[in-house]
Amino acid sequence: MTKTILQKRGFPKHDGQWFGVHVLVNNDEEVNTLSKEVPKIAKIGVNVLVIEVDYNYAYVSHPELRGPKPITRNCVRTLAETCRTHGLRPIPQFQCLGHQSWSKVTHPLLVQYPEFDETPGQFPSNEGIYCRSWCPQHPEVNPIVFELFDELIDVFEADALHVGMDEVFLIGSEYCPRCRGHDPAKLFAKAVNDYHSHLCGERGVEMLMWGDRLLDSASTGYGMWEAAENQTHKAIDMIPKDIVICDWHYTVRESYPSIPLFLEKGFRVWPSGWKEVEATEALINASQKYKTERMLGHLCTTWGAVKLDQLAQWPPIQTAMQKLHVRKA
User: Residue 325: which pLDDT band, with cuts at 50, 70 and 90?
Assistant: confident
Q: Which of 287, 272, 267 is nearest to 327 (CA)?
A: 287
Strand pairing category for 105-106 and 244-248: unpaired
pLDDT in tens, 113-155: 999 999 999 999 999 999 999 999 999 999 999 999 999 999 9
Handedness of CA 152, 13, 293, 311 (dihedral sign): negative
* Dihedral of the alpha carbons of 316, 318, 323, 326, in degrees to the nearest 10: 170
Between 141-156 and 73-85, two packed helices, what is the crossing angle to 10 degrees? 50
Say how far apart CA 66 and CA 328 lie, in whole Å: 41
Q: What residue ranges define each of the domains in the chain, with the CATH number in brackets?
A: 2-235 (3.20.20.80)
Q: Which of 282, 202, 209 is nearest to 247 (CA)?
A: 209
In the chain, at which residue ranges do the beta strands (DSSP E only) sit?
Answer: 18-24, 48-52, 89-96, 101-102, 105-106, 160-164, 206-210, 244-248, 268-273, 297-301
> Can you give the pTM of this predicted structure?
0.94
Q: How far apart are the first and last CA of the chain?
A: 27
Q: Which of 244, 169, 304 is nearest to 18 (CA)?
A: 244
Q: For residue 71, what pLDDT is reported?
A: 98
Are 80 and 120 in contact, with CB atoms under 8 Å apart? Answer: no
pLDDT in tens, 24-81: 999 999 999 999 999 999 999 999 999 999 999 999 999 999 999 999 999 999 999 9
pLDDT in tens, 247-296: 999 999 999 999 999 999 999 999 999 999 999 999 999 999 999 999 99
Q: What is the mean pLDDT of residues 74-95?
A: 98
Q: Which of 43, 35, 17 is nearest to 313 (CA)?
A: 43
Report which DSSP code applies to 13.
Answer: P
pLDDT in tens, 159-218: 999 999 999 999 999 999 999 999 999 999 999 999 999 999 999 999 999 999 999 999
User: Residue 327: which pLDDT band, with cuts at 50, 70 and 90?
Assistant: low
User: Residue 15: which pLDDT band, with cuts at 50, 70 and 90?
Assistant: low
Close Cβ partners of 34 (under 8 Å, ≥ 6 residues apart)? 23, 25, 51, 79, 308
